[in-house]
Structure 1
Amino acid sequence: MSTDHQKYSTQNQADAIRQYAAARAIDIVKTYADEGKSGLSLDGRDALKRLIEDVESGQAEFNTILVYDVSRWGRFQDADEGAYYEYICKRAGISVQYCAEQFENDGSPIATIVKGVKRAMAGEHSRELSVKVFAGQGRQIELGHRQGGPAGYGLRRALIDQNGAFKAELAHGEHKSIQTDRVVLIAGPDAEVAVVRKIYRRFVEDLIPERQIADELNARGIVTDLGRPWTRGTVHQILINEKYIGNNVWNRVSFKLKKKRVRNSPDMWIRADGVFPAIVDHHLFDAAQTIIRERSFRLSDEEMLEALQKLRQDKGLLSGLIIDEAEGLPSSSAYSSRFGSLLQAYKLVGYTPKRDYRYVEINRHLRTLHPDVLTKILGCLEAVGCQFHTIPETELISVNGELTISVVIARCHHTSGGSYRWRLRFDAGLQPDITIAVRMDAANKTPLDYYLLPRIDIASEKLKLAEENGLALDGYRFESLEPFYNFLRPEIVTEAA
């Protein structure tokens, strides 16, 4: 269980399991409990890991496992993961019984179907909750409320009530305790604010580089907000962080549903400008950004890549922090700006980071592809004589005043088994008459084929496609959109009976 404020508290589960066992004369000999742990992955689920290890080693001192309900294995995004752990137990000759479910786990087709549905629902619950939480966090950012993270040197976190009235300043490590309270940033001690402004003036007016500024601060015995000596990187972070001019920027990095951490492109950031008191003048901040950008322009692409390659050889690996700390090297943001992304710069010097960021590049490509696909479809509609217009707010296409069309692009996912899957999500609020689903090829470079999905037949908000889907879905598949354009071609009827 992840919190105590729900029916899934371990105490409530234990009570239900004891009642179930007593009614069936089952002796409970051992309990495995993961308290306060997320069920999105096996990471951190030490008790579940011990259970599986005991079962697989043959050292289990029991012949039955009692589980509160199907979702207690976990709210995995892949429903098969929960089924796998149950299978491990059954394979070892240990039965699994669910105490709060309305079915017997007897291996019957009904039990198998119900478990599959409940596992999928458990994963969907986490996904829907993630979407709601993300939307709520985004709204709080727009209102000027801080969503976690340290305040930073020269700033402090302040607690306000639901009406925006100041309550208290939060010390390092302190958090709010009332749900309706919010956290905002305020100016820190005058001495720290003076240091921040001095850093900007030394950098902009005196043209002193970050390393020298760090040395000066260390010589004066000034430490960072974490009590550490200053480095080139910590000075650089102050020079590029918009919170010093009062801007609230969030979603630079995503880590949803315990999956891979993703560094988002600026168009995905959520921001609110001027919501905190600015401790640095806007003109001074803009001048600092100009200096940082221009010093990379003095180097050619080849010189920047040679410097990056040398840094890789010296350090053995690369990261944004390592680049920012390197003396005489453009900042990580400069590399990202020059080459499109840090990942692309890494690729050009032959470096592959341990984390796989390829999907970030794929998503960026698909976002730029969507307008091109839309423009091509409009051109073909015009070529066959259709009257149409687009609805800017929704990007729906209204054709001949008779039907509306939505266009979605389905990215190709590679499964661990070597097969391909495409996941489609439809905006239920749009309700187009027909959705054109563009299914991308295995490399996510060009369209593979198209599905013309009428709303009257496709009621679900989500759809998962395999390579072969049966007539129920593949009946809507087309190699090209030519048949669709011909279907929409207006015909002049001179006489009607």
Structure 2
Amino acid sequence: MQRIKEYAAEHDITIVAVYEDSGKSGLTMRGRPGLQQLLADVQTKDDFTSILVYDVSRWGRFQDVDESAHYEYICRLNGVQVTYCTESFSNDDSPYTSIIKAMKRIAAADYSRELSSKVFVAQCRIIRMGYKLGGMAGYGLRRALLDADGKFLRLMEKGEWKAVQTHRVVLVPGPKEEIEVVNLIFKWYAADQIGDRRIAAVLNEQNVASESGRPWTGALIRGMLRNEKYIGNLVFNKGSYKLKKTAVRNPPHLWVRCDGAFPPIVPLELFHAARAERCDRNYRYTTEELMATLQRIYREHGRITSGLIDRDSEAPACQLFNRRFGSLYKAYELAGIPGDFNGQALATRIRTLSLKAIIVDQVKAAIALAGASWTETEIPHTLRINDSVTVSIRVIRCAVDKRWGYVRWRINKRLATGFDFLFGAVLDERNEKIERYMLLSAADFQDRDISFTDLTRESMPQIFRPKLEDFFQPVAH
């Protein structure tokens, strides 16, 4: 920045704004708010005519060298001249200048590639020597600082970095109570066959603090169960994200290991038992097995739903069918299960959820317009009016009665809990738009479903209105 200021003073240029990305990687545009703002201002503002840049590499060390040229072109296209303060050439768009800038952009990109290779080699060497790279130690472990001769100096605090280049960091067993929790997690999973999410829930219920202080999660437990540092091994390069390109998972023969780098805190037999249990749970179902599972559930129940799949002890979770086939409906079709699985029901459900949120907002506005107050309750889409009456807001869809072949609207009796009144937006037969509104009290259900057709609806005019506002009118005192 000092050289840029000197250049501006030498050429009688006034600096009106500074755009800087301190400590940011120049490999991609992501994470470069300064550069992004500069390009935005170039295209929208007209209060400067020149940009002073330290050198050609300051645009970025993009692996596609045309990217930095593109950003410079955007500036010229908007009438803003780019000047390089420390380069020996004048940025005058001559063929010579263009060749020099292209060479410097290639050199900037090559610098990042060489540096990446050198850093990777150094990281592999440190791991093979049994030393830890950056990051947290892991629950049940601690980081210890060693001097250049390998002598123990002290335990490092959370978030602390080593200050001397020749010092090294190793992992050591942590507090006794944390080690007991770690072994308990492995035992619950391997011997008692308790799932990772349930283990996390139990630890949260017992107020066991995690390493970060945040609540335990299934993902956190899974990470512990497969991490070899609990048996004293350091493993590096399981995944790569070099030069901020595509992240990849590396095969085991590319992993960099140091087995027995420090004392284990989990017995080897228990660790491998947990790994074997994980492999059993991660069994790769064939397409034929999944189809047979769906067909069996349909034969046993005469119907099939995501709930039936999840409750079946021998079936995988319904999310697996979604991931493998794109949707449950597609899986049903492939399994030859009879039914209309063209996605119409799913589209209706998505549209219903969107409508429900809109209607809730409209009801809030109508209540306020009528001079009343409302508060949200713990139950979704349920409001308490004037702190005395609770109203549940629903969207009532139309469905075909498969037994009799006519259309009807039905409200399940299980919805008749947690409110005084049910306010419903009744959709048309195509479930595309709201046809009218209705109001029921919880007592109207009497432990039964409420259903109506076009004909029976005409006999109940007292509970239907054409407009939402008809149900929310000011009360005269």
Q: Scaled by the length of structure 1, what TM-score is found?
A: 0.56
**2:14 pairs with 1:24:** no
Query: Are 2:335 and 1:349 equivalent residues in the alignment?
Result: no
1:281 equivalent among 259, 264, 267: 267
**1:78 alignment partner AA:** D
Choose 1 or 2 for highest CA Rg: 2
Aligned residue number for residue 167 of structure 1: 153
Alpha-carbon distance, 1:270 to partner: 1.5
Deviations 1:31-69 (A, max 9, x none): 222222221122222222222112111x23222222111
Confirm or deny: 8 A CA contact 1:151 1:185 kept in the other structure.
yes
Shift of 1:130: 0.7
Q: Partners of 1:90 and 1:307 in 2: how far apart?
A: 63
Equivalent position SS for 2:243 = helix
Does the 8 Å CA contact 1:248/1:272 hold for their aligned counterparts? yes
CA distance in 1, matches of 2:150, 2:291: 49
Aligned residues with identical type, % of pairs? 48
Measured against aligned partners, the alpha-carbon deviations of 1:108-159 in whole angstroms (never above 9, x if no partner) come to 1110100000011011101110111111111111111222222221111222
C-alpha distance in structure 2 between counterparts of 1:347 and 1:211, whole Å = 20
CA gap 1:330/1:235 in 2 versus in 1, 3 angstroms: farther
Q: How does 1:81-92 map to 2 (within 5 A)?
A: 81-92=67-78
Count of residue pairs brought into register by the alignment: 311
Deviation at 1:307, TM superposition (A): 9.3
Are residues 1:180 and 2:166 paired?
Answer: yes
Match in the other structure for 1:386: none
Supply the distance in 1 between the matched residues of 2:197 and 2:163 (Cα, whole angstroms). Answer: 40
Matched, 1:95 2:71: no
Q: For residue 213 of structure 2, what is the aligned residue in structure 1?
A: 227
**Root mean square deviation, CA, Å:** 3.3
Find 1:292's aligned residue among 278, 281, 290.
Answer: 278
1:242 to 220, 228, 238: 228
- Provide Cα deviations, 1:418-456, integer angstroms capped at 9, x if missing partner: xxxxxxxxxxxxxxxxxxxxxxxxxxxxxxxxxxxxxxx
SS at match of 2:83: strand
SS at match of 1:96: strand
Aligned equivalents of 1:230, 1:18: Cα separation in 2: 51
Partner residue of 1:49?
A: 36
The offset of 1:163, in angstroms, is: 2.1
Letter paired with 1:349: F
Unaligned runs of at least 5 residues, structure 2: 295-304, 307-312, 328-477
Residue 250 of structure 1, CA deviation: 1.4
User: What is the CA–CA distance in structure 1 between the aligned matches of 2:116 and 2:290, rounded to whole Å?
Assistant: 40
Q: Distance in 2 between matches of 1:120 and 1:54?
A: 27
Distance 1:41 1:299 in 2: 39
- Map 1:289-438 onto structure 2 (within 5 A): 289-296=275-282, 302-303=288-289, 348-350=324-326
In 1, the alpha carbon distance for the partners of 2:212 and 2:316 equals: 25
Q: Is the 8 A contact 1:295 1:330 kept in 2?
A: no
Match of 2:247 in 1: 261
How has the CA–CA distance of structure 1 residues 266 and 348 changed in structure 2, closer, same or farther, with 3 Å as cutoff?
Answer: farther
Three-state SS of the structure 1 residue aligned to 2:28 is: coil
1:208 Cα deviation after fit? 4.4
- TM, length-normalised to structure 2: 0.59
Counterpart position of 1:374: none
Letter in 2 for 1:161: D
Distance in structure 2 (CA, Å) of the matches to 1:199 and 1:168 = 28
Q: Secondary structure at the match of 1:267?
A: helix
Match of 1:168, SS? Answer: strand
CA distance in 2, matches of 1:346, 1:274: 41
Could you say if the C-alpha distance between residues 203 and 30 of structure 1 is closer, same or farther in structure 2, counting changes exceeding 3 Å?
closer
One-letter amino acid matched to 1:142: R
Change (3 A) 1:226 1:303: farther
Q: What amino acid is aligned across from residue 199 of structure 1 in structure 2?
A: I
Q: Decide which of 109, 112, 121 is 1:135's aligned counterpart.
A: 121
